Chains A and B, each alone.
Chain A
Amino acid sequence: MNPQTEQVDAVSPAERTGRGGLPFVSGVRTIFLLEMRQRLRARSWYIMLAIWFVVIGLVFGLAVLTTATVGVDNGGVLFDLVVGFVLFFGLLVAPGLSANAVNGDRVAGTLAVLQVTLLTPSQILAGKWLAAWTASLGFLAAATPFTLWALALGGVDPLAAVVSILMLAVELGVVCAVGIGVSALASRPLFSIVTTYMLVAMLGIGTLIAFGLSMPLVQEDDVEVVYSYSTDGQQYGPRQPSAEAETPLPATDCQSETYRQTVYHTERSAWLLAANPFVVVADAVPYAPVPPSVRDGSAVYRQPGVMEFLSIGVREAQAGPDLEYTCEESYLGARELQDGQIPIWPLGLGLQLLLAGALLVAGRARLATPAHRIPRGTRIA
């Protein structure tokens, strides 16, 4: 034992009595580095990445074969599919990466060691969230070969691609925040992981169920609906690019009939879909509009991908029932939605952030020390 070593003060007496903790960022960085070190040294993360790579690879391979058989030579469809799958698997992986981050430490007895330092609960939560998010972004990065492959096939709008990837990253961050918040609140890791999965399922599937179940509430019986159709047989189907195409559709060929039927005012219930992660991603991506390019014959028909299809569906729901089915619509097979339509994804992302934020704030209160209330069966240390 060397008593001399103990006399060297690590912190000067003036600092010792001073109030205030660490600068916020440096505390967060310390926790982030601590978490990342542990994650990078654990084999499980690499195994999960490998499984992830193989699964996405299989799905991608099948999709390539299928689109080749069908004859759709469009990278856009494949890219859209990769985005959808990465989001789907990401929602499965992110809770596992985040939802035991705090209570796992509590069980291991390492949380109190941090709580007794100058770190604040906010710094601990922020550092752990950043680490969980970074780990889940690793999965996004592991899907890069497939996204690049799809992009190389062409037909993807660069802006749409960038926004897709960005929104995927944002959604993973939201799920990680939910997981971290729940893990700070719950005592047992198993419970918090299951709870996080339930919350993610609530967003992903629960919103769809709620939307479906709300149909009777927005139902209106006996509504007049006008259907118009063209009597000129030549006008049906996509037109070949030709001189003939330059002439506008003759209005005289159009006939209308009026029916009384039940309609669903989905414009009143579409908001229920907003918080769905798939809707948030799909709705935020600025896809090039499909129908108009076909109408004037300036572009070939473009098959929408799975996410774009979802986006179109949500916008249809937002627009509500079509009470006047015009000749032009019957020709195009779909109506043209107003340009002024308000995008739904900011609402959805807002709801998600509200959920994650509320959980984090509640979790922060649980980490506050000196602790007043402690749930049954948990120890501080």
Chain B
Amino acid sequence: MSSEAGITAAGVVRSFGSVRAIRAIDFEAPPGEVTALIGPNGSGKTTLMLILASLLAPDAGTVRICGVDPLVDPLAVRRMVGWMPDTLGVWDSLTAREILQTLAACYGLAPPERERRAEELLRLVRLEDLAGQPARVLSRGQQQRLSLARALIHDPQVLLLDEPASGLDPGSRVELRSLLRTLAGLGKTIVVSSHVLVELDAIADRAVFVKRGKSVQTQRLVDAGTQRRTYRICAEPIEPLLEALSRHGFGFTSSAQTRTNEVDVVLDGTAHAAWLLRTLVEADVVVSAFAPAGGALEETYMTLEVGAE
């Protein structure tokens, strides 16, 4: 892959009438990585996905998909991009197999290739048994998996997945995670938008946070070690823990989210956390749990949310 691979978007602006869906988003998704697009409802995630998928034109700003401008050559972009929309649209009366074969035809695959590719993807998303059933009998999660297979039909270099995990059962989520990691390992560029931050923690390499149509922060998950975050400590009984924390000058909080034998402590990164844990254990505090209170992404998300108030 050349240096042109991946997605870059700079200064993207898009309004719908008087509604400014995207005010200023800078976005980058390098190949071989899973980039999470995170933000509250109405923050412009889906609009950005539509722009990246060459369905929507930005009012201003530049977008490059593997070096190609979707405004200049949308067909070249479409050959490279697989898009899974957040709204589930299926042709009710068609079977899963027919849907995949039709989409393969729409991407110009030859008839034998269509059949082969459809069977391959049905296997991949575990819908072989339901391949002959009309799509209307599929459950939401099954339709979601079909939608994912649809996005993969032409083996795209770039995958844009809008809320792919919604409606999936835990087993399917684990599978989605390993599939996306596999695809990223093959050098593909993957963008995932989701609210399920815990899921993204495990899938994503990087995260771009958007709020009110603006990109507010980019985070690499490998950097999370130096991130200042909240740890939840559980001790039986809790009194020695509280005493030890006070002795070392740590502020602690208990909230509605913590149980009676738990407290939250803000720590500066993993090294700091390791030091505190050792200190507590050496002070004979019976620590039964010591872990980040939420995912790294959730932590950032909540900071941004609080900042909004």
Contact = CB atoms under 8 A, between A and B. Distances in A.
Interface of A: 1-3, 5-11, 15-22, 26-27, 30, 33-34, 37-38, 41-42, 105, 108-119, 369-372, 374, 376, 379-381
B85 A381 contact: yes
Contacts of A118: 75, 78-79, 106-108
Contacts, number: 142
Given A5-B123, A16-B79, A370-B70, A108 B182 contact: no
B56 A37 contact: no
Contact of B55 (A17, A22, A380): A380
Contact of B50 (A6, A16, A34, A381): A381
Given A37-B93, A380-B50, A381-B85, A10 B186 contact: no
Interface of B: 16-17, 46, 50-51, 53-57, 70-71, 73-76, 78-81, 83, 85-94, 98, 102-109, 113, 117, 120-121, 123-124, 134, 150, 152-155, 157, 175, 178-179, 182-183, 185-186
A116 B83 contact: yes
Contact of B56 (A10, A105, A370): A370
Contacts of B102: 30, 33-34
Contact of B182 (A3, A15, A114): A3
A30 B100 CA distance: 12
Contacts of A370: 51, 54-57, 70-71, 74
B219 to A, nearest CB: 27
A227 B120 CA distance: 86
A232 B229 CA distance: 118
Given A34-B91, A109-B87, A10 B50 contact: no
B89 A109 contact: yes
Contact of A11 (B53, B54, B73, B79): B79
Contacts of A16: 79-80, 157
Given A10-B153, A109-B87, A117 B55 contact: no
A115 to B, nearest CB: 6
A1 B179 contact: yes
**Ordered nearest first, which 6 A-B pairs have the shortest CB separation?**
A109-B89, A117-B106, A370-B57, A110-B89, A41-B93, A109-B87
A6 B190 CA distance: 14
B182 A6 contact: yes
Nearest to A27: B106
A33 B94 CA distance: 11
Nearest to B117: A10
Contact of A113 (B80, B89, B175): B89
25 contacts: A2-B123, A2-B124, A5-B121, A6-B124, A6-B155, A6-B186, A10-B153, A15-B79, A15-B108, A16-B157, A21-B108, A33-B102, A37-B98, A38-B92, A41-B134, A109-B85, A109-B88, A110-B89, A116-B54, A117-B78, A117-B103, A370-B56, A371-B55, A374-B56, A376-B17
| Residue from A41, A105, A116, A371 having most chain B Cβ neighbours under 10 A | A116
A301 B210 CA distance: 84
Contacts of B71: 370
B182 A17 contact: no
Contacts of A116: 53-55, 78, 81, 83
Contacts of B70: 370
Given A1-B179, A38-B91, A114 B123 contact: no
Nearest to A9: B155
